């Protein structure tokens, strides 16, 4: 059996989490990540019959029964992940129709998975229903997207159109746009259900006055998706108080659709 610390999925998780902290997206213990793993790749590093403990989830996601996830722990700091992977991460197998998770590795200090676990698992189930290749759900607190929710209309169409106009690459990277939730109490089944519903139509869901959820096929793609939206928000926050003399028009956005073979969300362009 190969040593766990050499597993490519673990190395990549640590790299991405460290980068997120360095970007200022995950202060203190803010933010969380879950990565769905294939059973065959987990078997190379773990005895799948050796369950450390069983943790109740408090909800049901029968669609994920038997699936494996590498997840960040509750109360853990991303900046510490590279120094103590086993203390800050865990590998779990979903069982009992999603009502419990079997811990196979990690969370070595007796802790549990992220408090946002319900939202992550519900979002994974939602994304898999529209994209069977989805593997990642990532939550963080990018400063400019967070700031934007205080000064911009939270209407999803208008929020999306603003981001698309801030940078040429935005419509190319997230043509389906950005969905938005008003402020809600985090770490609850209620916000998990609401986020999962939004995840059915977009890979990015903004939580007003809190942060953003992104999903994708791998860690790099998901990080880049959030990074692109955050760059759009950065530009918006720099110019929102200034008279705009030039912009990317809807005609320009249609040209980008054609050039990059993407389709903007229905009804979002004039």
- Written as six digits, the tokens of 106 are 């990690």
The yes-or-no answer on residue 12 being catalytic is no
Catalytic residue among 102, 116, 156, 230: 116
- What is the length of the chain? 270
- Residue 216, judged by CB atoms within 10 A of its CB (0-12, 13-18, 19+), counts as buried
DSSP designation for 264: P
Select from 125, 237, 232 the least CA-distant residue to 173: 232
| Cβ atoms < 10 Å from Cβ of 259 | 9
* Vertex 225 angle, CA 173 and 69, to 5°: 135
- Say if CB 203 and CB 127 are below 8 A apart: yes
Task: Please give the Cα distance from 217 to 166 (Å, whole number).
Answer: 25
What residues have CB less than 8 Å from 135, skipping those under 6 apart? 35, 36, 216, 217, 218
Residue 198 backbone dihedrals phi, psi, to 5 degrees: -70, -30
Please state the separation of Cα 147 from the chain's center in Å.
Answer: 19
- Say if CB 60 and CB 97 are below 8 A apart: yes
- Active site (catalytic) residues: 116
């Amino acid at each position: 059996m190969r040593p766990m610390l050499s597993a490519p999925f673990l190395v990549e998780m640590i790299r991405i989490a460290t980068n997120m902290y360095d970007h200022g997206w995950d202060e203190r213990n803010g933010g969380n990540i879950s990565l769905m793993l294939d059973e065959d790749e987990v078997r190379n590093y773990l005895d799948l019959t050796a369950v450390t403990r069983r943790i109740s989830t408090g909800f049901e996601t029968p669609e994920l029964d038997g699936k494996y996830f590498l997840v960040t722990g509750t109360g853990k700091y991303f900046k510490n992940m590279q120094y103590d992977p086993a203390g800050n991460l865990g590998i779990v197998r979903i069982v009992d129709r999603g009502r419990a998770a079997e811990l196979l590795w990690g969370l070595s200090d007796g802790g549990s998975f992220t408090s946002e676990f319900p939202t992550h698992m519900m979002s994974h189930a939602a994304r898999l229903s529209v994209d069977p290749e989805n593997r990642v759900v990532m939550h963080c607190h990018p400063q400019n997207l967070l700031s934007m929710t205080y000064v911009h209309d939270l209407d999803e169409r208008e929020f999306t159109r603003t981001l698309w106009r801030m940078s040429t690459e935005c419509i190319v990277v997230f043509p389906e746009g950005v969905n938005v939730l008003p402020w809600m109490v985090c770490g609850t089944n209620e916000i998990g259900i609401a986020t999962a519903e939004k995840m059915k139509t977009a890979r990015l869901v903004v939580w007003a006055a809190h942060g953003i959820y992104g999903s994708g096929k791998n860690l790099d793609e998901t990080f880049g998706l959030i990074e692109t939206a955050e760059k759009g928000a950065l530009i918006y926050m720099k110019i929102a108080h200034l008279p705009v003399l030039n912009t990317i028009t809807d005609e320009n956005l249609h040209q980008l659709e054609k050039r990059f073979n993407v389709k903007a969300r229905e009804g979002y362009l004039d």
